Chains A and B, each alone.
Chain A
Amino acid sequence: MNENKPENILSVKNISKNFPGVKALDGVSIDVQRGTVHGIVGENGAGKSTLMKILSGVYTRNSGSITFDSEDIKSTTPHKSMSMGLSIIYQELNIVSTMTVGENIFLGRFKEVGGMRGTHAKAKELLDSIGSTINTTTMVGDLSVSEKQMVEIAKALSFDSKLIIMDEPSSSLTDDEMKDLVKIIHQLKKQGISIIYISHKLDEIFDFCDIVTVMRDGKVIDTKPIGEITRSEMITKMVGRSIENEFPERPRNVGETLMEVRSINTKKLKNVSFELKKGEILGLVGLVGAGRTEIVRAIFGADRTFGHEIVIDGKVVKIKAPSDAKRAGISLVPEDRKLEGLILPFTVESNISLASLDKLTSKMGFLNKSKEKTMAEKHIKSLGIKTPSTKTRVESLSGGNQQKCVVGRWMELEPRILIMDEPTRGIDVGAKYEIYLLMKEIVKNGGSVILISSELPEVLNMSNRVLTICDGRITGEFDPEKSSTHEIMEKAFEFIDKGTKS
């Protein structure tokens, strides 16, 4: 069914995309009309960026059809997409910092526009057309984020783009810069260019989008003109779901304050302070990039942060490096197990013993290898790690079992405070449940857990208390049993304006 609706610049039908173990997109269909600003919202992992990467040619789809400007697109590359008139401006800006503005706009095409002179002349034209006064001979690395975006927009225009996708453009902009961006968006719209605008800042969506699509779990939940949906309805559609996963009964053993975190201040985090009580599971909820991982890394001493204080059992503890944190009884299961958690070509044994080597070392400096094996076997048993032997290379295990190895490593230290950053990402249901049980065990014995998870049901069902983090600040504190998901997520979207609103 190929309806050629000329008023749709882009028609996406039934797109599906699978990654090993995960269905990122499931039958997504969206129509973008010409000359509109089409917003797309959804929480972490909803599938927005996967969809955009398929449109721009970075990923290939598994099924479905894409029609752009009345042409059926079978496959594409980033370069082909741009030449067709479909441009995308990523959050991580696709620029070469060491080259000038003009060169970045016409990267690889200098001959077509008449050499260096032509490049700078045409670049100036394009920038003028969007009201930008940037000098085309400036090194892009010297520009502000807002100016870099202008360069990218000019680049999109240089390809005669009919559709520009903007992926979270406003996260690093000031209020005034945002106003400029909105002006340009309206201008582009008037020129008949369509814009797909992805953002977590719902105010913006309501401000200048014409239509909005809500995605969740890889599916499109609804597409509505902006006037026909309220903010509340939008959030409900973004987070509401039937709870298919089972969770163990919430532990209720919360006691006195165990740890106090005072004033973490970094480039991203603004004066973060909170308490952690004995026997509690504290959930950190927020959008990607809100700063949750930064907070726990600061506590663990993984990053060079200064000026904050960690108080445990009433005493100030100096944590400058992970070894200090270990000594203080804090363990961290990191976010990216492949890059930060595991040494993939090494054995299960050596991955589990990684944090406990001093325990296995005799006074003379010798490692007790049989103790190492016993240690590994202990955790293999208690965590149910499926592996042919302790000497199997960890890279051949499934994601769930790999994660269990990392967890086992830290369980060996019998931590008082276990921090888990996205512990169940990419692992099967059975293994997930086992990790939940483990969390319960820890708090039952008087320890505490800090849980970061982008899976709302998980964090809301396991935590005794939830902190919402937005844009580097703690914006709220909730009891998940008493507050609604909606209330909590509102706070996760609460971006505080940096200036005064006129």
Chain B
Amino acid sequence: MSDLILSQKSNIRESILDFSKEYIVLFAIAILSIVTGIVEPKFLSVANMTNIMRQFGPLIMVCLGMTFVIIGGFIDLSVSGTIPLVVVITHSMIEPFGMVPALITGMIVGAICGFINSLLILFSGATTQAEALFITYGTMVVYGGLALLYTGGVTHYMTYMEADYSLFTVIGSGTVGVFSVTFLIFLVVVTALYIFQSKTYLGRTINLIGGNKTAARLSGVSIKKGIISMFTINGFMAGLSGIILFSRVTQASPTLGRGYETQAILAVVVGGTSLLGGKGSVIRTVIGTLLVILLGNCMNMLGVDVFMQNMMRGAILVIAIWLDAKRQH
């Protein structure tokens, strides 16, 4: 195999870095859980486990959607604007049109928000992540502002509604056996997304665009389709996240979902999807989100206050990005 030009050294070094990056996350989860379990036995209780499972709700949806945008080499900050918009519109549709149409409308609104993002990026010729960052920041403000405008800043409580909103209650707090409805939704969604990402044409397109846009284009891959897909999916997932969030808190507040985008980026990066695009998977994001959730849970169990937690999250993001950068060079 003398034709294989790759010095043994760099192969091994790269493997070690890859290995440590990959499994550092799992290691961290394992060690953290063990330590917490020892220090605070309540961590291992059924109640806590259920609590952890419950958290696989709104946040994970956003994280999953964000995965595609990041694999494709872009980024999307607008989710924390899409979520409140979806929530307030959905809420307002329940009374006049019924739960199911309201739900469907909400999802469509989310997808449209993502679709608009993709059009802006396509037509402006934005090719870098930074450009996408700023444009989606702008749309975040617009979508969030529209939500505020729509409700006049007022939070509506579902419990004061006369119409039937039982669908949402089921989504928010229903259970099927041991599992929460949300968790089941999560399982279905993650399976669908995994299949999409690894086995479909569009999923592959998104991957290729993140890998080498030029080579993809010169091979006839439709960059347009890829960009539209990734952002629309992200918008749709933000919509789903909003519905679940809304169902949980039973109130339509125009400020829901704040800060989700940074948590999502954190989860995706920590899970091992590279910010540079082309590499990654929804499974990794699930693991990354799990770590983020576990981290929060452990810190709560250990009595760490909220702000220290925020700091830890930020610090982990910085470290994760740093490691990512080191791997590339």
Contacts and interface: CB of A to CB of B under 8 A. Distances in A.
B208 A354 contact: yes
Contacts of A360: 201
A151 to B, nearest CB: 30
Contacts of A342: 212, 215
A332 B214 CA distance: 13
Interface string B208-221: 10011011111111
Nearest to A333: B218
B192 interface: no
Contacts of B11: 396
B204 interface: yes
A343 B216 contact: yes
Chain B interface extent, by class = 20 to 34
Contact of B215 (A323, A354, A388): A354
Given A340-B215, A398-B3, A398-B4, A357 B200 contact: no
Contacts of A339: 212, 214-215
B202 interface: yes
A93 B55 CA distance: 57
Given A345-B279, A367-B201, A357 B5 contact: no
A369 interface: yes
A51 to B, nearest CB: 26
A357 B218 contact: no
A366 B199 CA distance: 6
A398 B5 contact: yes
A362 to B, nearest CB: 9
B220 A322 contact: yes
A361 B6 CA distance: 33
Contacts of B220: 321-323, 325-326, 355
A358 interface: yes
A346 B221 CA distance: 16
Interface string B172-212: 00000000000000000000000000011111110010011
Given A345-B211, A346-B211, A396-B11, A334 B218 contact: yes
A398 B5 CA distance: 5
Contacts of A357: 201, 204-205, 221
Interface centre among B1, B4, B11, B217 (most CB of A within 10 A): B4
Contacts of A334: 218
Interface in A354-395: 354-355, 357-358, 360-361, 365-367, 369, 386-388
B81 interface: no
Contacts of A300: 218
A343 B204 contact: no
Given A343-B212, A357-B204, A398-B5, A322 B217 contact: yes
Contact of A409 (B4, B203, B204, B219): B219
B201 A386 contact: no
Nearest to B279: A345
A343 B208 contact: yes
Interface in B60-109: none
A487 B146 CA distance: 72
A139 B1 CA distance: 56
B50 interface: no
Nearest to B3: A386
Given A343-B212, A365-B201, A366-B199, A397 B5 contact: yes
A326 B199 CA distance: 24
Contacts of A332: 218
B218 A322 contact: yes
B12 to A, nearest CB: 13
Contacts of B214: 339-340
B278 interface: yes
A386 B211 CA distance: 23
A409 B212 CA distance: 15
Given A366-B199, A388-B1, A396-B4, A343 B278 contact: yes
B124 interface: no
A354 B219 CA distance: 6
A305 to B, nearest CB: 15
B222 A401 contact: no
Contact of B218 (A20, A340, A361, A400): A340
Interface string B25-64: 0000000000000000000000000000000000000000
B201 to A, nearest CB: 4
B319 to A, nearest CB: 23
A431 B279 CA distance: 30
9 contacts: A325-B220, A334-B218, A339-B215, A342-B215, A343-B212, A345-B279, A355-B220, A360-B201, A397-B3
Interface of A: 20, 300, 302, 321-323, 325-326, 332, 334, 339-346, 350, 354-355, 357-358, 360-361, 365-367, 369, 386-388, 396-401, 409
Given A361-B200, A409-B219, 19 more contacts: A302-B218, A322-B220, A325-B220, A340-B214, A343-B208, A343-B216, A343-B278, A355-B220, A357-B205, A365-B200, A365-B202, A367-B199, A367-B200, A386-B4, A387-B4, A388-B1, A397-B3, A398-B5, A399-B5
